[in-house]
């Protein structure tokens, strides 16, 4: 059976649905081809089930890309305020959790239900469980599945990145790009916990569950947020953020007590300088179990002013060399993807292949933690939807 449309969109996630709604409202006959048994699965699991759908402080600096300017155009034409307007039109209750991050009060399903209603109003056709075996191009793009053929003059790849394969991530978008000779920035896991090397793991991971505010830094970027010790390594927002920038050949530096002085008090007091007095001071600043372990593993080399000052320096610059990350199984996003030099920043259309668009996470634009990845999905989906 052959289905003909004005536009085909592969992938019914955040970017694909927004693109379909935008194009559908412009009168285009749009088909969304989704591999899973329902659309928007990642929306449903996002933000711990409450979907951190945007960030009030969205700025191009919150995105990683080989070309840091690429995202500007789309982001400026569809802003957090635009998405909030849509959310409010549907009377979806939401709140700011922290740092401009907006979450649903009830559940992520509110966002998905809103997008599906918008799809219905825009007369978007959604095909679920589509297994694409081949994409070819003559005059039209032809997408072949197990039991049907879809044709349209334009096609948007909105199939997302490689993270969380168990809910349906595939390499479709990258494979399609390669098929048409479009370059890729090597995909790697981002917003992902670190696995510690054997020594650090044996020394620290029995403290799994302990968390504290730190500044984590790697490759010239630093983030002051919470760090969490896990059974295999380190996680928490500060670590997830820095993981997206991590270069495995370089260490990660962690300030365990940002902007806090530890030994200054001890140096001024007349009380004896002992392990006990140091421990009680560190316990004021760090969780007790971590404070005790840190002093056990890193005792001061002496009790002179300079020995204590050197000891403090290490607390502010703990250097770790992770063994790796938890990989795509646990990564919230994929860093890298379709090279932005290949795409129009205005429309997301491939420069060398007119009619072929790439949107959302499959593109080499990756947001920080905090609602930025959805904002990119909405903005890039919107930009393509206005053009295809």
Binding ligand FAD by CB under 6 A: which of 5, 12, 111, 322?
A: 12
333 is a site residue for ligand FAD (CB under 6 A): yes
CA atoms within 13 A on the CB side of 13: 30
374 is a site residue for ligand FAD (CB under 6 A): yes
193 is a site residue for ligand FAD (CB under 6 A): no
Comparing CB distances to ligand FAD, the nearer of 204 and 363 is 363
Task: Single out the segment in contact with ligand FAD by CB under 6 A; choices: 84-92, 157-165, 208-216, 221-229.
Answer: 157-165
Binding ligand FAD by CB under 6 A: which of 52, 65, 215, 235?
A: 52
Do 90 and 114 form a contact (C-beta atoms < 8 A)? Answer: yes
Pairing relation of β-strands 30-33 and 7-10?
parallel
Binding ligand FAD by CB under 6 A: which of 7, 15, 87, 162?
A: 15
For residue 7, the cross-strand partners are: 30, 154
Q: Shortest Cβ distance from residue 103 to ligand FAD (Å)?
A: 8
64 φ/ψ sector (left φ>0, alpha ψ -120 to 50, else beta): beta
Q: Which residues contact 171 (CB under 8 A, 6 or more apart)?
A: 162
> 367: burial class by Cβ within 10 Å (0-12, 13-18, 19+)?
buried
188 is a site residue for ligand FAD (CB under 6 A): no
Comparing CB distances to ligand FAD, the nearer of 109 and 170 is 170
CA 166/CA 378 separation, integer angstroms: 24
CA 255/CA 316 separation, integer angstroms: 4
241 is a site residue for ligand FAD (CB under 6 A): no
45 is a site residue for ligand FAD (CB under 6 A): yes
Which residue stretches of 90-124 are H helix? 109-121
377 is a site residue for ligand FAD (CB under 6 A): yes
Binding ligand FAD by CB under 6 A: which of 118, 200, 213, 332?
A: 332
Task: Single out the segment in contact with ligand FAD by CB under 6 A; choices: 12-20, 75-83, 254-262, 276-284.
Answer: 12-20
Do 379 and 20 form a contact (C-beta atoms < 8 A)? Answer: no
- CA neighbor of 160 nearest in space, from 341, 55, 35: 35
Span 129-148, contacts to ligand FAD by CB under 6 A: 130, 132
DSSP character string of 50-90: T-EEEETT--GGGEE-SSTTTTHHHHHHS-HHHHHHHHHHT
- Per-residue contact track with ligand FAD, 78 to 117, x per CB under 6 A? ----------------------------------------
- CA neighbor of 80 nearest in space, from 101, 50, 106, 49: 101
Task: Single out the segment in contact with ligand FAD by CB under 6 A; choices: 43-51, 65-73, 266-274, 279-287.
Answer: 43-51
Binding ligand FAD by CB under 6 A: which of 7, 8, 51, 87?
A: 51
Task: Single out the segment in contact with ligand FAD by CB under 6 A; choices: 244-252, 294-302, 318-326, 372-380.
Answer: 372-380
Binding ligand FAD by CB under 6 A: which of 20, 22, 35, 71?
A: 35
CA 141/CA 155 separation, integer angstroms: 7
Task: Single out the segment in contact with ligand FAD by CB under 6 A; choices: 38-46, 78-86, 92-100, 247-255.
Answer: 38-46
16 is a site residue for ligand FAD (CB under 6 A): yes
Binding ligand FAD by CB under 6 A: which of 5, 11, 94, 119?
A: 11
Q: Which residues contact 242 (CB under 8 A, 6 or more apart)?
A: 216, 217, 218, 221, 222, 223, 252
90 φ/ψ sector (left φ>0, alpha ψ -120 to 50, else beta): alpha
Site residues (vs ligand FAD, CB under 6 A):
10-16, 33-36, 39, 41-42, 45-47, 51-52, 130, 132, 158-160, 163-164, 168, 170, 172, 332-333, 360-361, 371-374, 377
């Amino acid at each position: 059976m052959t289905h003909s449309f004005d536009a085909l969109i592969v992938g019914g996630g955040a970017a694909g649905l927004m693109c379909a709604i935008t194009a559908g409202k412009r009168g285009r006959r749009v088909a969304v081809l989704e591999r899973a048994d329902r659309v928007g699965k990642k929306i449903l699991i996002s933000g711990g089930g409450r979907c951190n759908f945007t960030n009030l402080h969205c700025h191009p600096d919150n995105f990683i890309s080989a070309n840091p300017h690429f995202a500007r155009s789309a982001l400026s034409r569809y802003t957090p305020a635009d998405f909030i307007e849509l959310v409010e039109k549907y009377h979806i209750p939401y709140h700011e959790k922290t740092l401009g991050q907006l979450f649903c009060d009830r559940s992520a399903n509110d966002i998905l239900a809103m997008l599906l209603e918008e799809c219905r109003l825009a007369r978007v056709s959604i095909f679920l469980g589509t297994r694409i075996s081949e994409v070819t191009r003559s005059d039209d793009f032809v997408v072949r599945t197990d039991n049907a053929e879809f044709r349209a003059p334009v096609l948007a790849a909105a199939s997302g990145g490689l993270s969380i394969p168990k809910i349906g991530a595939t390499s479709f978008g990258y494979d399609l790009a390669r098929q048409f000779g479009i370059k890729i920035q090597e995909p790697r896991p981002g917003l992902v916990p670190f696995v510690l090397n054997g020594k650090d793991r044996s020394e620290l991971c029995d403290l799994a569950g302990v968390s504290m505010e730190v500044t984590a830094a790697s490759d010239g970027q630093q983030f002051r947020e919470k760090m969490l010790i896990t059974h295999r390594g380190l996680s928490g927002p500060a670590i997830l953020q820095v993981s997206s920038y991590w270069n495995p050949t370089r260490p990660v530096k962690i300030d365990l007590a940002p902007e806090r002085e530890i030994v200054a008090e001890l140096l001024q007091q007349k009380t004896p300088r002992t392990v006990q007095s140091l421990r009680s001071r560190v316990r004021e600043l760090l969780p007790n179990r971590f404070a005790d372990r840190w002093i056990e593993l890193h005792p001061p080399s002496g009790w002179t002013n300079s020995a204590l000052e050197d000891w403090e320096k290490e607390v502010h610059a703990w250097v770790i060399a992770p063994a790796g990350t938890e990989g795509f199984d646990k990564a919230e996003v994929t860093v890298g993807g379709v090279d932005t030099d290949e795409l129009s920043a205005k429309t997301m259309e491939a420069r060398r292949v007119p009619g072929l668009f790439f949107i959302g996470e499959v593109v080499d634009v990756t947001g920080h933690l905090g609602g930025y990845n959805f904002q990119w999905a909405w903005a890039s989906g919107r930009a393509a939807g206005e053009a295809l």
